[in-house]
A = this chain, B = another copy of it.
Amino acid sequence: MDVGRTQWTADLEWVRTPRQTRSERTQTAVLDAAAALFAERGVDHASVSDIAARAGTSVGTIYHHFSDKQGLVFALFDRLAAELDATTADAVDPARWHGAGIADVLRGYLDFALDVGRTLPAFRIVSRAAAARDVGARELLEKLHRNIDEGVRALLLARAAEITHPARELAVDLVLDQIAAMLLVRLEPELRPSRLAELDDDAWIDETLHSALTHLGLTTD
């Protein structure tokens, strides 16, 4: 479940190692500002001096801490990935789901994913920008998604008795992919206008869940 960040980050020097407490504060402020601006306007439309202004520091200081703008993007992605990975690891911990059925697990997943997606609006934008620029970032992103998928997949397959679909594993894979795609469109409606966008979260979750359960052929409906 470890995301292996070290692989990607270890030998790279986008971020200066802080020697003073001040440094950490500044770096955090810069990353926060970047996250906000990137989420608002996208990476290309947020200039380094915009970020400096928002962080209450100067352009020179940003370049003292980060190798270049790309390094700032990577460092931010790294931070967001670590956050997401920690939250995920916690959410798919089997102990947490003791006694829960497939319907509970999937509902929990949908709930969780919507929540995280909205709490970290910068994640999708920054991860995409990083992945487009660097293979390591691309791999990290894939690993991250795989971790989530594997986690939920394990929870579902541990409850395979509930599934009547003849090809259980394939059915589970399809359902997970479908849910991921639905979540993407729900979180970023500008990608593809959806009729279901008008539903509120609860109704949307009910519909999506119902479809998934039907496909799996759940014994208890």
A170-B207 contact given A142-B193, A182-B178, CB 8 Å threshold: yes
User: How many residues of A are counted as interface, with CB atoms below 8 angstroms from the partner's CB atoms?
Assistant: 33
Name the residue in A45, A141, A181, A214 with the highest tally of chain B Cβ atoms < 10 Å from its Cβ: A181
With the chains together, A208 CA to B175 CA distance in Å? 10
With the chains together, A146 CA to B182 CA distance in Å? 18
Residues of chain A from 171 to 221 with CB closer than 8 A to chain B in the complex: 173-174, 176-178, 180-182, 184-185, 190-196, 207-208, 211, 214-215
By a CB distance below 8 angstroms, the chain B residues around A149 are 195
Contact: B142 with A191, CB < 8 Å?
no
Contact: B193 with A191, CB < 8 Å?
no
Contact: B194 with A128, CB < 8 Å?
no
Q: A95 near B: Cβ within 8 Å?
A: no
Contact: B173 with A195, CB < 8 Å?
yes
By a CB distance below 8 angstroms, the chain B residues around A193 are 141-142, 145-146
Contact: A192 with B145, CB < 8 Å?
yes
* Chain B: minimal CB distance from A157 (Å): 14
How many copies of this chain does the complex contain? Answer: 2
* Chain B: minimal CB distance from A197 (Å): 9
With the chains together, A114 CA to B80 CA distance in Å? 33
Q: A132 near B: Cβ within 8 Å?
A: yes
Q: A120 near B: Cβ within 8 Å?
A: no
Supplied contacts A132-B190, A178-B181, A181-B185, 8 more A-B pairs, CB within 8 Å: A142-B193, A170-B207, A173-B196, A178-B178, A181-B181, A184-B184, A211-B215, A214-B215
Interfacial residues, chain A to chain B (CB-CB below 8 A): 44-45, 128, 131-132, 141-142, 145-146, 149, 170, 173-174, 176-178, 180-182, 184-185, 190-196, 207-208, 211, 214-215
Show 29 residue pairs from A and B whose CB-CB distance is below 8 angstroms, ordered by the A residue.
Answer: A131-B190, A132-B190, A141-B193, A142-B193, A145-B192, A145-B193, A146-B193, A149-B195, A173-B195, A174-B196, A174-B208, A174-B211, A176-B195, A177-B182, A177-B196, A178-B178, A178-B181, A180-B194, A181-B182, A181-B184, A181-B185, A181-B192, A181-B194, A184-B184, A184-B191, A191-B191, A214-B214, A214-B215, A215-B215
